[in-house]
Structure 1
Amino acid sequence: MIHATADPRSGSTQTTLRYLFRHCVQADCTTTVPADIWRESLDDRLITYQTGVDLDGYVWGVDWQLLYPGATLVTDSPTAQRWAAAVGIDFHEVRIQTNAHDLTLVFSDLKIEELPSEWQGPGHKLPIR
């Protein structure tokens, strides 16, 4: 899911989109958190925001990640081409970079659905310090 927000002064409204990657034949996930931060983030209290917010280290349990730098379609993906040849339908590859993970998915179809306006996204707000 992507919860898209903007500065309220912009006049843009918030929206929440659900992305469903269909017939996903490959999913790779790599951390983007540096080793020195991992070393400081092994305390189990960092698994939830409530117990980890005041500790040093990366709080893993925030229920969301910043979608930055974002998603990029991998054009002419050899992996997607191999799957297309083997299965007989088109496949695509996307790289999704967040503040904590680098994801790569190989899939055949993508369904995007806008969720009702009452769905407000992440269940809490992070304090700005």
Structure 2
Amino acid sequence: MDPVRLRQALDDVFDGALLRHGFTGYMRDYQVVIHMTTDPRSGIAPSTLRYLFRHCVRADCATTVPAGVWRASLDDRLITHGTGADLDGYVWGVNWQCLYPGMTLVTDSPAAREWAAAVGIDFHEVRIQTNAHDLTLIFSDLLIEEIPSEWHGPDYMFPIP
């Protein structure tokens, strides 16, 4: 994939809502599901996009939630919005993370170069940062598709008037 097009695709979802991420069922490709909204007055309808990072040879995930917040967020009531909303701690149950600072292309990635030399196709490195996770992916191609609305985003749970 052309790095200019890749960078634009990453920029297009800046500050969206990360709904899900992980390997697909067949475990070769890594998917990131993002919900995008704008001010309702813009007339632009919300959309849910699946970013499919194809031929993903590396997926690293680390928390960005500080240890002290984790300590205050161990209560299982925090994994459901209804029971966790009024508790102290990180409410995991909102079921989304803010895609901020967002997705960035790591230019001149040694890991991507090594995989490209070993496999014989281009590879790229992307860093995905949210308010709860920091992901690093090494992959060869990116497919983007809009997916059905049953993957409700945060505007479903927290409507914007």
Flag whether TM exceeds 0.5 (same fold).
yes
TM-score, normalised to structure 1, is: 0.88
2:83 to 30, 38, 51: 51
Offset at residue 126 of structure 1 (A): 3.8
Residue aligned with 1:61, SS: helix
Are the counterparts in 2 of residues 16 and 119 from structure 1 also a CA contact under 8 Å?
no
SS at match of 1:9: helix
Superimposed CA distance per residue, residues 97-129 of structure 1 (whole angstroms, 9 cap, x where no aligned partner): 11111111000111100124x44623742489x
1:122 pairs with 2:153: yes
Structure label with greater radius of gyration = 1
Determine the C-alpha separation between the residues in 1 that align with 2:82 and 2:54.
34
Question: Which has the larger helix fraction?
Answer: 2
What's the CA shift string for 1:67-93, capped at 9, x where partnerless? 111100111110000011111111100
Counterpart residue number, 1:28: 60
**Larger relative contact order (CA 8 Å, sep ≥ 6):** 1
- Count of paired positions: 127
Equivalent residue, structure 2, for 1:95: 127
1:4 to 32, 36, 46: 36
Matched, 1:19 2:31: no
TM-score (norm 2): 0.72
Instruction: Confirm or deny: 8 A CA contact 2:48 2:153 kept in the other structure.
Output: no
Q: Which residue of 2 aligns with 1:73?
A: 105
Question: What CA distance in whole angstroms lies between the structure 1 residues aligned with 2:144 and 2:103?
Answer: 14
Q: CA deviation at 1:45?
A: 1.6
Give me the CA root mean square deviation. 1.9
4+ residue runs over 6 A deviation: none
What's the CA shift for 1:26? 0.5
